[in-house]
Amino acid sequence: MAREYRIASGKSKPGGSGIDYAAELNEQQYAAVASAPGPALVIAGAGSGKTRTLTHRVAYLLDQGVDPGNILLLTFTNKAAREMLERVQQLVPSDISALWSGTFHSIGNRILRRHADELGFTKSFSILDRDDQKSLMTEVVKSCNIDTGGRRFPKADLLASIFSLAENTSEDLNEILEIRYPHLEEWSDEIHEVQKGYRKKKKQTNSMDFDDLLILTLKLLQDDEDLRHLYQRKFRHVLVDEYQDTNKVQCDLIDLLVGEKQYLMVVGDDAQSIYSWRGADMSNILSFQEKYLEAQVFKIETNYRSTPDVLELSNAAIRPNKQQYEKELRAVREQGMTPALVPLDDPSIQAEFIGERIDELIGEGVEPEEIAVLYRAHYHSMEIQMELTRRQLPFQITSGLRFFEQAHIKDVSAMIRFVVNSRDEVSFKRMALLLPGIGAKTADNLWTAWTNSAAGRSVEVPKSFSETLLSFKVPAKAKDTWQQLCHTLDELAPDGKFERPSNMIFSILEGVYQEYMSVSFDNHEHRRNDIEQLMQYGESYEDVLEFLAQLSLMSSVDGDPNNKEKKDEGVMLSSIHQAKGLEWKVVFLVWLADGMFPNGRVLESDDEEMLEEERRLFYVAVTRAKDQLYLTYPMTNPKSYTGDYMTRPSRFLDAIPTELTEEWKVSAW
């Protein structure tokens, strides 16, 4: 058994902060910060001062004489790494520049820059961003000479997402295709060929993508024992933020760097584990004590963010989950407003209520930046965006572009615009470029052929678009889809008469666009939901010209070029996933109906683990509120396919005792 021996060096030691840790921290925080070296799991509830605990732990280690160069602090975002380092610097007066702090990827890059030659790369390797990755992948697909036979092969972006998921979860590619992308299984052999070619191409071009920064760092340290021991000796203390979000590769890398000494502290909250869809594995945090048998577990349950009213509801919301570390958040703030439960007639009335209430809150002195509308899926925000625009209330969106500015909405709109205005060159080319084998040059040639045709020169709507377009020469790859597109255009204006907007959108979606989305986008189901929502919006219009005019106005924020909110100004509209880690005085959580939240796919799967993750997502949403929380749902939902149907309030509301909410009965004047 090896004996540990420390040298009393004459060098000046870091630390000397003079912090009274017991006075500055609450009892639970102090227990974690001042714990003895060894494996430690800190379960830090929402709003409990997680960052404060972690940064004080770093300061405490420095005060104990640990050299900054022997500390590794791993985070998930560069912003978090910077903030933590700044806070530590404020706490400790000495030089801490030797401390390693950063994201998993940045630390991986730092190690690989020193040792890349051992993996067949030079130290000046390039890092591919998403656009670079897409370009390289496209070249590989071309070099594979895949026979598509008129079928659509997955786009480079989608292939990159699939390969990334396989790398980060260490799952078999066949299994990922079978479970997550069953519509692509027919391409399994070709996708494997592209993956092999992509790896080879990266080596040839001395390039790595972001996943390689983790995968290759892990491989390097697994294969080279001397190097592994070097970094294990260097990083005597490893601290990890947001541990519940780690995937298998990240977890393996942590274990490998810690080695036998096990001087490891991980901080996280299993109740906020909501990223399994991108590879995060909650079992890492749940099984921590099984892996590190000597681990101490600290729970930090004092919440400084929310009122007791919000916290009581939050505690009740997460209680039904079986897979969790049980905890009870306690408030330090005084009692506030009882959370409001607001059933509303339909999605339009829901949007009107939210717009009206936000208007009132701003009138009462609440800053717009202190108000958020949160939702499960981006398409849930469409009516709300329209209502806030109508009321000229400033808003910003973190969950993506404004609804009408999204690529798939613009693609569908382009087909309608071309049918309505056959001289619309921009719309024609956007439509043509969606087809396989058609690039900018071919799109130009097709446009020239159209403008030279009798139908293209006429001011009248053609009785048949296909009669002219089918005679045009297109690449062999595009032949079948070009024919389908031409027939779809005929459906939009049979015999030269425009269909209703909702019928047009249905024809586009089912005729050509669904297939395009399935091989182009990782989130094609969400995009289909968006288009169905657009279809529902189109139900209120008979005149396609009026419909298109409204789309244009909404895309340009009601046509006001001066209405460009500054960054961080206005009411926040956000998906819950992107709201994690943020907080607002007032939160509206919308569309709380079964099939919407929890997601319909989860309910259909009857998978208890997926349902528990949805409940954790609900918990994350309600814990964002500091003062006021509004839980809203429409009692009916109009659908283009089936007509109006009654909704069931979200089953997540069943777990909340009636006395913890106040029901608001909303009626129109």
Residues acting as catalytic residues: 50-51, 241-242, 272, 624
Q: Give residue 534's identity as a one-letter amino acid code.
A: L
DSSP alpha helix (H) spans, 397-478? 407-420, 425-432, 440-452, 454-457, 466-469
Among residues 234, 553, 568, the alpha carbon closest in space to that of 398 is found at 568
Which pairs with CB-CB distance under 8 Å and at least 24 residues apart come from 545-549? Answer: 545/420, 547/416, 547/501, 548/413, 548/416, 548/417, 548/420
Q: Give residue 16's identity as a one-letter amino acid code.
A: G
Query: Is 262 exposed, middle or buried (CB count within 10 Å of its CB: 0-12, 13-18, 19+)?
Result: middle
| Cα gap 83→51, rounded to integer Å | 9
Integer CA distances (angstroms), 376 to 291, 371, 504, in order: 34, 17, 27
Q: Cα torsion at 526, 528, 532, 534 (round to 10°)?
A: 80
Per DSSP, 187 falls in state G
* Stretch (H or E) spanning 303: strand 302-303
268 known member of a binding site: no
Tokens representing 449 are 């052929």
**Residues in Cβ contact with 79 at an 8 Å cutoff, skipping those fewer than 6 apart:** none
Integer CA distances (angstroms), 454 to 422, 431, 445, 451, in order: 12, 20, 16, 8
Coil vs helix vs strand at 240: strand
11 known member of a binding site: no
Which sign, positive or negative, has the C-alpha torsion 9, 14, 18, 21? negative
46 known member of a binding site: yes
Phi-psi domain of 274 (left: phi exceeds 0; alpha: psi -120 through 50; beta: other): alpha
511 known member of a binding site: no
Phi-psi domain of 7 (left: phi exceeds 0; alpha: psi -120 through 50; beta: other): beta
| Cα gap 268→616, rounded to integer Å | 14
| Cα gap 646→623, rounded to integer Å | 29
* Stretch (H or E) spanning 375: strand 371-375
| Cα gap 406→586, rounded to integer Å | 27
Coil vs helix vs strand at 368: helix
Query: Is 668 exposed, middle or buried (CB count within 10 Å of its CB: 0-12, 13-18, 19+)?
Result: exposed
49 known member of a binding site: yes
Among residues 577, 578, 615, 621, the alpha carbon closest in space to that of 598 is found at 615
101 known member of a binding site: no
51 known member of a binding site: yes
661 known member of a binding site: no
| Cα gap 222→231, rounded to integer Å | 12
Tokens representing 297 are 């577990």
Quick check: 161 and 150 in contact, CB under 8 A? no
Per DSSP, 512 falls in state I
User: C-alpha angle with apex 537: 531 to 539, nearest 5 degrees?
Assistant: 110
Q: Which residues are annotated as a binding site?
A: 44-51
Give the annotated binding-site residues for ATP.
Answer: 44-51
